[in-house]
């Protein structure tokens, strides 16, 4: 199948590579040329414009945020202009449900088909074709792109025939992860302040809180290893903002998201923009009068001496 692939960042590049390896005809586009040229050596064709990549049976967009998707889709020589009638746009970027609804409407007007299929997984999962893909859109189109998706992920969950619902699920998932970070941040601040080693706390609680995000973030926070960032703080704020905006669109208060927003803003205000999003644990600790997590001794232990 001829597949356009737009957006070759640290997620998009390994994903496009997997499509090449699955013997698809892959036409790539990226704002900066280097990543595209690297893939050309592995068999990809280079598109001059997004429209050229979009002129395929399926075009995948894997970009940074709403704004970049808007530019690539609605702009001059953009996806909307390039797609044929009957072509399928699979937007795999984490975008707002509201933009997803606008994209669905704009494509429908031109007899193009729109599917939202955001993913869970880090770059290494993308490289191993082990993403979890949440998809929503017209059933027929979903059937057609199934082999494409199979080359990218280990499971494709179809959640609805309305594309924006897939974006909502992705946003909900990231929000739940952020809630885990906040919860851990609060209990570790409490245990440190009481003179109890967070490692002992987690040794016990890890028996119950077995989901992978707990494991990852408990150790990141306890060790205070917020650099290098696995997922940068401003991206965390972006995701919480998407949750809050969805809450506003559907008139749903999300008080946990409001707490998270305040902590992400505080972390940015304190200059932690380059750190991992779990660095909000530093804000939580400092609000308790503690130093940032990860030092060798805890507050109370020091006081006791």
Catalytically active residues are 170
Helix, coil or strand: residue 170 = helix
Report helix angle 66-74 to 97-109, nearest 10. 10
Pairing of strands 153-160, 131-136: parallel
221 binds a copy of itself (CB under 8 A): no
Among 22, 196, 216, 292, binds a copy of itself (CB under 8 A): 196
In the complex, the smallest distance separating the C-beta of residue 289 from a copy of itself, rounded to whole angstroms, is 3
71 binds a copy of itself (CB under 8 A): no
150 binds a copy of itself (CB under 8 A): no
Alpha carbons 157 and 209: distance in angstroms, whole number: 24
Peptide linkage before 228 cis (omega within 30 of 0): yes
Among 31, 186, 231, 292, binds a copy of itself (CB under 8 A): 186
Nearer to a copy of itself, 5 or 202 (CB): 202
105 binds a copy of itself (CB under 8 A): no
Helix, coil or strand: residue 33 = helix
Among 17, 107, 232, 263, binds a copy of itself (CB under 8 A): 263
In the complex, the smallest distance separating the C-beta of residue 58 from a copy of itself, rounded to whole angstroms, is 22
Cα dihedral value 262, 264, 266, 270, nearest 10: 180
97 binds a copy of itself (CB under 8 A): yes
216 binds a copy of itself (CB under 8 A): no
Among 108, 128, 176, 227, binds a copy of itself (CB under 8 A): 176
User: In this structure, what DSSP letter does residue 194 have?
Assistant: T
Structure token digits, residue 171: 């946003």
173 binds a copy of itself (CB under 8 A): yes
In the complex, the smallest distance separating the C-beta of residue 78 from a copy of itself, rounded to whole angstroms, is 22
The position carrying tokens 């998809």 is 135
238 binds a copy of itself (CB under 8 A): no
What H or E segment, with its residue span, contains residue 120?
A: strand 119-120
In the complex, the smallest distance separating the C-beta of residue 182 from a copy of itself, rounded to whole angstroms, is 6
Alpha carbons 89 and 79: distance in angstroms, whole number: 8
Among 5, 29, 114, 120, binds a copy of itself (CB under 8 A): 120
Structure token digits, residue 148: 């494409």
User: In this structure, what DSSP letter does residue 230 have?
Assistant: S
Cβ neighbours of residue 1 closer than 8 Å, sequence gap 6 or more: 24, 25, 57, 58, 147, 148
Which window, 32-40, 43-51, 58-66, 153-161, contacts a copy of itself (CB under 8 A)? 153-161
292 binds a copy of itself (CB under 8 A): no
128 binds a copy of itself (CB under 8 A): no
């Amino acid at each position: 199948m001829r597949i356009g692939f737009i957006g070759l960042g640290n997620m998009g590049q390994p994903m496009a590579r997997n499509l090449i390896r699955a013997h698809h005809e892959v036409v790539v586009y990226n704002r900066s040329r280097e990543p595209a040229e690297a893939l050309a050596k592995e068999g990809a064709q280079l598109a001059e414009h997004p429209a050229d990549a979009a002129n395929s049976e399926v075009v995948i967009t894997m970009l940074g945020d709403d704004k970049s998707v808007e530019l690539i889709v609605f702009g001059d020589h953009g996806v909307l202009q390039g797609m044929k009638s009957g072509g399928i746009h699979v937007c795999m970027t984490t975008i707002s449900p509201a933009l997803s609804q606008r994209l669905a409407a704009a494509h429908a007007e031109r007899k193009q088909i729109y599917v939202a299929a955001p993913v869970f997984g880090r770059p290494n999962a993308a490289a191993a074709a082990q993403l979890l893909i949440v998809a929503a859109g017209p059933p027929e189109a979903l059937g057609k792109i199934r082999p494409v998706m199979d080359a990218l992920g280990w499971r494709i969950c179809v959640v609805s025939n309305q594309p924006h619902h897939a974006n909502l699920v992705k946003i909900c998932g990231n929000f739940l992860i952020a809630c885990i970070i906040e919860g851990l941040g609060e209990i570790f601040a409490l245990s440190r302040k009481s003179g109890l080693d967070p490692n002992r706390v987690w040794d016990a609680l890890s028996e119950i809180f077995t989901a992978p995000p707990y494991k990852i973030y408990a150790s990141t926070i306890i060790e205070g290893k917020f650099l290098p960032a696995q997922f940068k703080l401003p991206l965390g704020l972006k995701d919480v903002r998407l949750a809050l905006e969805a809450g506003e669109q559907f008139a749903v208060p999300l008080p946990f998201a409001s707490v998270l927003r305040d902590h992400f803003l505080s972390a940015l205000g304190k200059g932690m923009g380059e750190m991992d999003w779990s660095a909000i644990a530093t804000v939580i600790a400092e609000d308790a009068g503690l130093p940032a997590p990860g030092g060798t001794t805890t507050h109370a232990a020091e006081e006791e001496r």
